[in-house]
Amino acid sequence: MDHLGNVRVRTNRWRRLLRWHHGQKMNEEGEDGGKDGEKKRSFWNMRFEFNWREWTVDPAETFYYVWLQVMIVPIVYNWVIIILRTCFTSIGLNYLPVWLTLDYLSDLMYAADMAITLHTGFLDQGILIKDLTRLRKRYLHSKRFLFDLVSLLPTDFLYFAVGIETPLVRVNRLLHIPRLSEALDRMETRTSYPNTFRITKLMIYIFVLIHWNACLYFALSSYIGFGSDHWVYPNITEPRFASMRRQYLYCFWFSAQIFTTVGDTPLPSREEEYLFMIADLLIAVLVFASIVGNVGNVITSLRDRDNVFFPNHELVKAYLRSHHISKELRQRIDNWYQHLHINKKIMRENEILQQLPLHMRTDIAVSVHLPTLSKVTIFQNCEKSLLEELVLKLTPQVFSPGEYVCRKGDVGHEMYIIKEGKLAVVADDGVTEYAVLGAGNFFGEISILNIKGNKSGNRRTANIKSIGHSDLFSLSKEDLTDVLSEFPAAKRHLEEKGRQILVKMGMLEERAEVEEVEAEKIEAKIKRLERTLEDLQTKLARLMMELESSNKKMQARVEQLELQVALLETHLPHDGQGGEEAMGREEGVGGEADWEREEAEGEEEGDAEENGEKEGAGDDGDVTKEGDGESTKSTKDETERVVEGNKFDLKEPDNLIDNIHDKEKILGKGDERPGKGDGAETEPRDDNQSRDGELLGRRRKTKEDSDGKDKKDSD
Ligand SMILES: Nc1ncnc2c1ncn2[C@@H]1O[C@@H]2COP(=O)(O)O[C@H]2[C@H]1O
């Protein structure tokens, strides 16, 4: 106990790791929004709040990785020492306390490893499961648990039966091997030098195999009798072969000779020796094959890596030779390859990174190329998204001293950004320099930008020559157009720079430029007019449709009115007189004509109404004349049909109004709501029906008026 009353914990490695891991977890929680006070909790407080039962490990965490590496030690210990102590009994007995301590330490680590495995989360549909009940269930039902359990069985109690000099009772400890392969696999994926790691791993496996074989050889020699023939281990009573170190080294050497198929071992003389040798040689074939295979793989993968990083020089060389290319050109090509290799210039980075997801590729490309791009003036103030799009489309290119990147008059397909080196804009003589371009400059944009008034069109306007070795990024015309279509400001900037150069060179036809601008304006106007015309056409079509529909409505209304007239005419026989018939016609047809006129001319034409009274006869006469025509005929026919069909009681005058009411009902009644009945807002059928009602109403009113008049006259 320390002065704070805390229990002092033994500071062995795994305990420290656990504490460190727990500390990390607490920090993470703190960062995730924990209160400041919580963050400041002391280490000791944290230690005592540690809840073992709820503790879980994320297999992707560094803690888990470190723990796996730690576990390599006890597993390898058991695999090497148990057999050594079993076969070399003197080694086992001489260092017994050391072995026993190490044995039980390794047992402790095995137990801790089981506990950690029990608390290790797993992914279910991509989500880390931390529920202890599920973790426990999963582990306890796995094969792995069986292996771990058997490897930890306390077989040491068998010492009481067989004696302490038989460490073979601990052979079950070897079953913890799956953890070793897990640890090695993890290391292989994490290491930056996988080939070195693979070779080292293979050598360790072979070492363990030779070690086992050495131990078995010594045990067999002991069984046959040391020094009984040339094949077995010499007599250990001889001082030369008595020491433990000599015993082990001799056996290891003997075994290594067999497994490396050197074959310089003494001839066996007993059957047991032959059997041992046969088994060893068979295993040796496999060992040798696996050594050769693995080393071959490593060499191939190293070459593959080089081939991916740099183009295959050998193939190009063979090609040049077969086509009898001039020595001078071959020399230039050799120099180019040499420059790439010496300066580690990777040409196929897009290909190498192809297997990564796009966002990762972008991140890598941004971190590698952004420093270069940010030096380029046009991209300095650009949005990050533009740069991100650009970096993925850049292709690295390396030019040797004196080489032309482009020649005047060539068709331009790409522009270039200078990463490193110097290039000159030169005259056709190749010597006169107009300008020198350096890192962060760009060129080759004029011929791919379609600048208005550019006399050279899509042809290069100048020769560009590499002064020394230069590292460039090329950007194809298509990629540049794609990117610039979304970033017009950058496009304007590029065009402006190109225009300046063209003006300086006298290659910009300004009139043509103005004409082109004018042409563009006219084009825009034409487009606008076309759009207006289209709008007008649509409106016209709509109007035509409206006209047609109102025409139909009118027709329906007229038909309805004719029907109404026919209905009214059916009442004429009630009065029974020819004069009344005439009156009926006057009232019916003439009156209706009045209503029609009223409706047609509108109520606001009050004067017309007054005149109508004066000119009524004449008007009526006109209408009557119209009515005498076709419509009257059809009206009569219809009247007869209605009379027969409806079987009105025409002799009973009182029934007339009722019949009219009935007819109103049949027709669905006129809409008496204010503002309704002008036909515009209602459906044609309803409209007609409301018209009927309205007409009947008016008819009744006219009748009442005339009755009133008659009464007045009689008075
Ligand atoms: N005087 C100059 N100074 C700098 N760059 C130039 C000059 N003349 C031409 N260039 C560049 O050289 C490039 C040659 O190809 P382009 O015509 O496509 O685009 C040209 C310009 O980018």
- Where in the chain do CATH 2.60.120.10 domains reside? 345-512
What pLDDT digit, counting tens, does each position of 437-465 carry? 999 899 999 999 888 888 888 999 999 99
Does 416 contact ligand 1 (Cβ within 6 A)?
no
How does pLDDT run across 391-400, given as a tens digit for each residue?
888 888 999 9
Mutate to test the pocket of ligand 1, among 378, 410, 461, 470 (most ligand atoms within 8 A of CB): 461
CA atoms of 290 and 205, how far apart (whole Å):
11
* Long-range pairs, 295-300, Cβ under 8 A, ≥24: 295/199, 295/202, 297/198, 298/195, 298/198, 298/199
- 243 residue type, one letter: S
pLDDT digits (tens, 9 = 90+) for 627-661: 344 444 444 454 444 444 444 444 444 444 455 45
Tell me which amino acid residue 641 is: R
Q: Is the CB of 463 under 6 A from ligand 1?
A: no
Element housing 156 (H / E): none
Percent of the chain with pLDDT over 70: 72
Through-space distance between the first and last CA atoms of the chain, rounded to whole angstroms = 137
The stretch 310-325 carries a mean pLDDT of 84
How many angstroms separate the alpha carbon of residue 421 from the centre of ligand 1? 17
Integer Cα distance of 624 and 590 in angstroms: 6
Q: Using a 6 Å cutoff on CB, does residue 454 contact ligand 1? A: no
**pTM for the structure as a whole:** 0.55
Q: What is the pLDDT of residue 606?
A: 42
Q: For residue 411, give both structure tokens.
A: 């068709």
The response to whether residue 436 sits with its C-beta less than 6 Å from ligand 1 reads no
CA of 474 from ligand 1 middle (Å) equals: 15
From the number of C-beta atoms within 10 Å of its C-beta (0-12, 13-18, 19+), residue 208 rates as middle
What's residue 643's pLDDT? Answer: 43
Side-chain-side CA neighbours of 284 within 13 Å: the count stands at 17
- Residue in 446, 496, 503 to alter for ligand 1 test, most ligand atoms within 8 A of Cβ: 446
Confirm or reject: Cβ of 444 under 6 Å from ligand 1: yes
Angle at 523 between CA 518 and CA 529, to 5 degrees: 130
Specify the pLDDT at position 426.
95
- Distance in Å, CA 240 to ligand 1 centroid: 85
Q: What is the pLDDT of residue 46?
A: 52
Residues 541 and 534: their CA atoms lie apart, in Å, by 11
- Does domain 345-512 fall under CATH 2.60.120.10? My reply is yes
Q: Is 455 in the pocket of ligand 1 (CB under 6 A)?
A: no
Shortest-distance Cα residue to atom 15 of ligand 1: 444
- pLDDT tens-digit readout, 330-361: 988 988 888 888 887 887 777 788 888 988 98
CB neighbourhood size of 451 (10 A): 22
Strand pairing category for 414-420 and 470-476: antiparallel
- Residue 545 has phi, psi (to 5 degrees) of -65, -40
Angle 169-170-171 from CA coordinates, rounded to 5°:
95
ipTM for the predicted complex comes to 0.98
Question: What is the spatial distance between Cα 406 and Cα 417, in angstroms, rounded to a whole number?
Answer: 13
Specify the ligand 1 atom closest to the Cα of 456: 17
- How far apart CA 576 and CA 578 sit, in angstroms, is 7
| pLDDT at residue 499 greater than cutoff 70 | yes
> What separation in Å is there between the alpha carbon of 429 and the centre of ligand 1?
16
Neighbours of 48 (CB within 10 A): 9
Q: Looking at per-residue confidence, does 516 or 448 come out higher?
A: 448
Ligand 1 binding pocket includes 451 (Cβ within 6 Å): no
In angstroms, the CA 459 to CA 455 distance is 9
- Most confident listed range (256-265, 399-408, 621-630): 399-408
Tokens of 683: 């459906």
Residue nearest to atom 3 of ligand 1 (CA): 435
For the sheet with 433-437, list strands across it: 404-406, 463-466, 423-426, 433-437
